[in-house]
Amino acid sequence: MSTHELEPTADWSQLYIDGEWCDASSDETIAVENPSKREAFTSVPAASEADVDAAYEAAEAAQPAWAETPRDERTEIVQNLRSQLNDHYDEITTLLATEAGTPSYRATAEFATATGDVEMALNLEAPDEEVRQSPSIPDKDNHVIYEPVGVVGIISPWNFPLHLSLRALAPAIALGNTVVLKPATDTPITGGLLIAKLCELAGVPDGVVNVVTGRGSAIGDRFVEHPAARVISFTGSTAVGKDVAGQAGRTLAQPALELGGNAPFIVTDEADLEKAARAGAFGSFFHQGQVCISINRHLVHESLYDEYVDLLVEHARSLTVGDPSEDDRVTFGPVQNEAQRDDLIEYVEATLEAGATLETGGDAEGLFVEPTVLSGCTNEMAAACNEHFGPIAPVIPFSDDQEALELANDTEYGLSAAIQCEDETRARELADGIDAGMVHINDQPINEDHNAPFGGVKQSGLGRYHGEWIVDELTEPKWISVQHDERDYLIFE
Ligand code: NAP
């Protein structure tokens, strides 16, 4: 396999284990489709449990030497990875458009966030060794050092494949861990094999990054329960994430879980209406709504309700729909797969049956689901209470802040939220009342900043990404004490 080819039609037929491109142990392959055309453009191997074992063995064998590698040498290699990303911008964004139906502006945004993941990893420092006197044992010094956890298993979803794989992989290797990565079956290249090629080009040592492509239903159990994995970094649905956490518990691997969301977007009577509607439309329709932190419910004060719905409809109709792999001007592409489309149409139909009004959209052609606005909604309707994960905007009225908060918090999820209110003191009181890991005032909920903790509460996950928070996930503190004067153990005469 040539590592220098990164086009959609390049050779993607092998797994990357221990620095080698190798055939999977079975001949089974998985077709990779362009969701706009609904045609396969290549195929990848369907790894077996034996391949998963081989990948973990390679990662486990490589980890001690990688952890011992001086920090500046590791940093140089991570810098090379950043350079490889930058050198291959065109190929990477083409792959995102082809494999993930990503409009050009969004591919650029994902590329920037992914390079930001690597940049952040370059700046991460496990805390220096801390030395403290023991307050409870006389003449003892406590040294606390931070060691890499060891091998990190990473499972990523299809909606931001490059970014969500690198978000865990880059800090893991920068901190001296080694990695086995399983990308989603819909995006095995941009979430996995592409990253392997870039790591190889960057000179990442053999075994430090290993990539296995294969269905979660076939290899997921072995992947999560492999005894070599010390952290399982899982980004995906809450249903699968809960099973993963249970399985990780069997080997006491630490689960780091970034799961589903149902973001409320509160538009108060003190919102700048036009600004709020633009933010609301972006938050619902960016990447066809396939973002864990996209707006799932628009909660709008009754005094602005009708005008807000009209503006949202106007914005929904103004999107340029098309095949992002053919046209850079497209701002709205297909959803990723048929199951996704079918769920979305069912949510819309059930919501209309429950009494909502269809303002625009509501239909699909191929995998192109129309940007959809539903008015007259309640929190109990299907498009509101489920994480719909698509371009559907149910709009729910409220009459005061207390009701807005009750509606916002009436969900099992707690990932992201946003509030539009020009009075920042009032907005802050609302933000404090929302049960979510992230709340954005006078913005919409799709935000990611490498200097801020990313993650959710309730059924949206465990742990946080970025900065010092990811250092906590990927290192173990170790206590070494030094007793300077002999202790009195009290049991001897
Ligand atoms: P998913 O079905 O849970 O899949 C996520 C990953 O888990 C895929 O790689 C999948 O592999 C794998 N998987 C499936 N079954 C498995 C099993 N039994 N054991 C181990 N791994 C298994 O989620 P998705 O549909 O790809 O992504 C959408 C979901 O992800 C949404 O709920 C969204 O909110 C969430 N998400 C959360 C964040 C966040 O940061 N909180 C970010 C993005 C997405 P296959 O593809 O082979 O099935």
How many C-beta neighbours within 10 Å does residue 377 have?
23
361-371 pLDDT, tens digit each = 999 999 999 99
Provide, rounded to the nearest whole percent, the portion of the chain with pLDDT above 90. 94
| CA of 258 relative to ligand 1 center, distance in Å | 9
pLDDT of residue 482: 95
Ligand 1 close to Cβ of residue 236 (< 6 A): yes
Cα Rg for the chain, rounded, in angstroms? 24
With a pLDDT cut of 70, the percent of the chain lying above it is 99
What backbone torsions phi and psi does residue 446 show, to the nearest 5 degrees?
-85, 95
Per-residue model confidence (pLDDT) at position 2: 55
- 89, with CB counted inside 10 A (0-12, 13-18, 19+), is middle
CATH topology for 15-259+460-479 is Aldehyde Dehydrogenase; Chain A, domain 1 (3.40.605)
Tell which CATH classification among 3.90.650.10, 3.90.660.10, 3.40.309.10, 3.40.50.300 matches the domain 263-441.
Answer: 3.40.309.10
Token output for 369: 């689901």
Nearest to 58 by CA among 216, 188, 179: 179
Pairing of β 295-301 and β 263-267: parallel
Ligand 1 in contact with 159 (CB < 6 A)?
Answer: yes
Per-residue pLDDT, averaged over 51-77, amounts to 97
Residue boundaries of the structural domains of the chain? 15-259+460-479, 263-441
Binned at pLDDT 50, 70 and 90, residue 132 comes out as confident
Residue 116 scores a pLDDT above 90:
yes
Average pLDDT for residues 371-388, to the nearest whole number?
A: 98
Task: Tell me whether domains 15-259+460-479 and 263-441 share a fold.
Answer: no
**Ligand 1 site, residue 185, Cβ cutoff 6 A:** yes
For residue 93, name the pLDDT band (cuts at 50, 70, 90): very high
Q: How far is the CA of 141 from the centre of ligand 1 (A)?
A: 45
- From the CB of 242, is ligand 1 less than 6 Å away? no
Whether 4 has a pLDDT exceeding 70, the answer reads: no
Integer Cα distance of 345 and 365 in angstroms: 11
Q: Which residues contact 136 (CB under 8 A, 6 or more apart)?
A: none
Nearest Cα to 383, choosing from 266, 446, 286, 295?
295
Question: Which residue has the CA at smallest separation from atom 40 of ligand 1?
Answer: 258
Give distance in angstroms: CA of 488 to centre of ligand 1.
Answer: 55
Q: Is-catalytic flag, 258?
A: yes
Ligand 1 binding pocket includes 362 (Cβ within 6 Å): no
Alpha-helix residue ranges (DSSP H) falling in 252-327:
273-285, 305-317
pLDDT at position 126 over 80: no
| Any atom of ligand 1 within 6 Å of the Cβ of 340 | no
pLDDT tier, 113 (very low <50, low <70, confident <90, very high otherwise): very high
CA of 167 to the centre of ligand 1 (A): 15
Q: Average pLDDT for residues 130-158, to the nearest whole number?
A: 91
By the 10 Å C-beta count (0-12 exposed, 13-18 middle, 19+ buried), 129 is classed as: exposed
Give the list of residues 6+ apart from residue 452 with CB closer than 8 angstroms, or none. Answer: 438, 466, 467
- Bigger pLDDT: 125 or 219? 219
The rounded Å distance from CA 269 to ligand 1 centre is 37
- Which atom, in ligand 1's list, is nearest to the CA of 236? 30
Strand 475-483: give its sheet, edge to edge: 130-133, 140-148, 475-483
Measured N-to-C along each axis, helices 273-285 and 305-317 cross at an angle, to the nearest 10 degrees, of 50
**What pLDDT digit, counting tens, does each position of 389-409 carry?**
999 999 999 999 999 999 999
CB of 292 within 6 A of ligand 1: the answer is yes
Q: What's the whole-number average pLDDT of the chain?
A: 96
- State mean pLDDT over 103-129: 91
**pLDDT grade, residue 33 (50/70/90)?**
very high
Residue 9 has pLDDT above 70, yes or no: yes
Answer yes or no: is pLDDT of 1 > 90.
no
Which member of 110, 258, 359, 387 is catalytic? 258
Ligand 1 atom, smallest distance to 223 CA? 20
Atom of ligand 1 nearest to the CA of 247: 19
The DSSP line for 173-220 is HHTT-EEEEE--TT-TIIIIIHHHHHHHHHTPPTTTEEE----HHHHH
Structure tokens at 283: 């938050």
Question: 215 falls in which pLDDT band (50, 70, 90)?
Answer: very high
- pLDDT for 3: 55
